Structure 1
Amino acid sequence: MQQSRKIRRGINKQPKKLQMPPAQKEKYRKFLSSINVNFENEELFIQAFTHSSYVNEHRIRPHDDNERLEFLGDAVLELAISQYLFKNYENMSEGEMTKLRASIVCEPSLAKIADELSFGDYVLLGKGEEMTGGRRRPALLADVFESFVGALYLDRGMESVYSFLEAYVYPKIAGGAFSDMMDYKSQLQELIQREGQGHIQYRIVQEKGPAHAREFVSEVWLENNQLGKGTGRSKKEAEQMAAQKALQKLDN
């Protein structure tokens, strides 16, 4: 009898499925409509906006957060951007396309687009993440953008992803919005060489996060002086972000 009660208590402690009142679901429906996204499964999009801190705090099933959708969305986004560049920039070399794609599919760019679309207003966060400004944190916004793309792909297919990007991302590429972000490292190297100040060196000082969402922290040094520190989802991106911070510091 005592063992039976323990089993029942264990069952009651099992994580629950994410549930949302109809009024709150309607909020997401209106939001998707406002950005001209047709959908069939609203639950996928709600999951795309569900941060792990919310899942942990509400004891919801671990995989109901947006991390798996982020993993998928990252791959879908890279493919969609690669295809756009391949079709529209016939004179661009493989190396140039790689650099431009990296400047688009990086944390600062994706976070900026997500912020412009007010994605942060719809993220489900735990209280701790909310209090520390998570709703406007660039890394979180970039992750949500990728999760959203993953949800859109699963719900409506690749053509809907292309349509969404045609409305909100491709025009920015055509307008040159990312051209100044292509290679901060080269800009910094040219500046240092021009001024004859010495040699610069990049150091990866930290790796964090799960394997599918790894984050790297890089520092850039000029001789014995640290010029900048940056974070990215690859070592190269982290170095680019560190170089960007260094350029901002030197400009000031």
Structure 2
Amino acid sequence: MELAKQRKKELSDFCNRVGIKFKKLEHLDQAFHHRSLTNEAHGVKNNERLEFLGDSVLGMVTAAYLYNNLDNPEGDLAKIKSAVVSEKALAPVAIKFGIDKLLMLGHGEEMSGGRTKPAILADCMEAIIGAYYLDSGYKAAEAYVLSFIEPAVKETFSQGVKDFKTQLQEKYQKKTKKCPQYELVSKTGPDHDQTFKVCVHLGDKVFGPVTAKSKKEAEQLAAKLALDSFN
């Protein structure tokens, strides 16, 4: 079904506002179709399948960004990822982008305030990611996701989430004016399945060794061990 001229303009304005470019605006338009609309309008596709796809792309982009940019152990990365891709985090971004104004809802959902429901807004965010991935490929979708995920990660850290190495360095430097010294005790196993043993030296005190599947994670675990002694 061909889009009306006014709808095309609204969608084009949205693309310009958030810095994306669709080859087919029909893909983007479907991302705004809530299931309540298809319950009332025969033949109209909703955004649930796009949401399913977009959720996976969002998760992949976010996980890769956290892995490549943070030294935190897996548990920390999982907590940060959960926070920045949550409904609570995505809904305000949707409002900022003007997604609430472009949603296509059924009459009942419209009357019940669906346009401002966090779950519907977050689902639409994911559907847009899915639509953009289908329309323009992974790299384009990745750039769009990072445009709001990077600030969200930084905001999470500004609220007090710091990796263990950073926390240890701040505490130890404040006390001694020196930096912790990390020592790789051993590295064993084949290239595809290595095990690292690391300890950290704080003056004449040694914490560890601890074992992990990457040097970065082992250093984080050693730092946590030393932090526990401070606390």
Alignment of 1:58-137 (within 5 A): 58-61=41-44, 64-89=45-70, 91-137=71-117
The corresponding residue for 2:128 is 148
The corresponding residue for 1:22 is 5
**1:180 to partner: Cα distance:** 6.7
The corresponding residue for 1:57 is 40
Report the AA paired with residue 95 of structure 2.
D
Find the partner of 2:28 among 42, 45, 58. 45
Deviation sequence 1:181-218 (CA, Å, 0-9, x none): 9xxxxxxxxxxxxxxxxxxxxxxxxxxxxxxxxxxxxx
> Segments of 4+ in structure 1 off by > 6 A?
none
Identity of aligned pairs, percent? 34
**1:84 to partner: Cα distance:** 0.4
Report the AA paired with residue 34 of structure 1.
R
**1:67 to partner: Cα distance:** 0.1
| Rounded Cα–Cα distance in structure 2 between residues aligned with 1:126 and 1:60 | 14
- Aligned in 2, Cα 1:178/1:131: closer, same or farther, shift over 3 Å? farther
| Rounded Cα–Cα distance in structure 2 between residues aligned with 1:22 and 1:103 | 38
| Rounded Cα–Cα distance in structure 2 between residues aligned with 1:176 and 1:44 | 32
2:62, 2:81 within 8 Å by CA — same for their partners in 1? yes
The corresponding residue for 1:159 is 139
**1:33 to partner: Cα distance:** 1.6
1:48, 1:147 within 8 Å by CA — same for their partners in 2? yes
Larger Rg: 2
TM-score (norm 2): 0.65
Deviation sequence 1:66-110 (CA, Å, 0-9, x none): 000000000100000000000100x20011101110111111111
RMSD, aligned CA: 2.0
1:41, 1:155 within 8 Å by CA — same for their partners in 2? yes
Count of residue pairs the alignment pairs up: 162
- Larger RCO (CA within 8 A; separation ≥ 6): 2
**1:19 to partner: Cα distance:** 5.1
The corresponding residue for 2:15 is 32
Specify every segment of 5 or more residues in structure 2 that has no aligned partner in the other structure, as ranges.
162-231
Report the AA paired with residue 125 of structure 1.
L
Q: Partner of 1:175: helix, strand, or coil?
A: helix
The corresponding residue for 2:202 is none
The corresponding residue for 2:198 is none
Q: Is the deviation greater in 71-80 or in 162-171?
A: 162-171
Alignment of 1:148-227 (within 5 A): 148-176=128-156
Report the AA paired with residue 102 of structure 1.
S
| Rounded Cα–Cα distance in structure 1 between residues aligned with 2:92 and 2:155 | 16
Report the AA paired with residue 43 of structure 1.
E
| Rounded Cα–Cα distance in structure 1 between residues aligned with 2:88 and 2:151 | 17
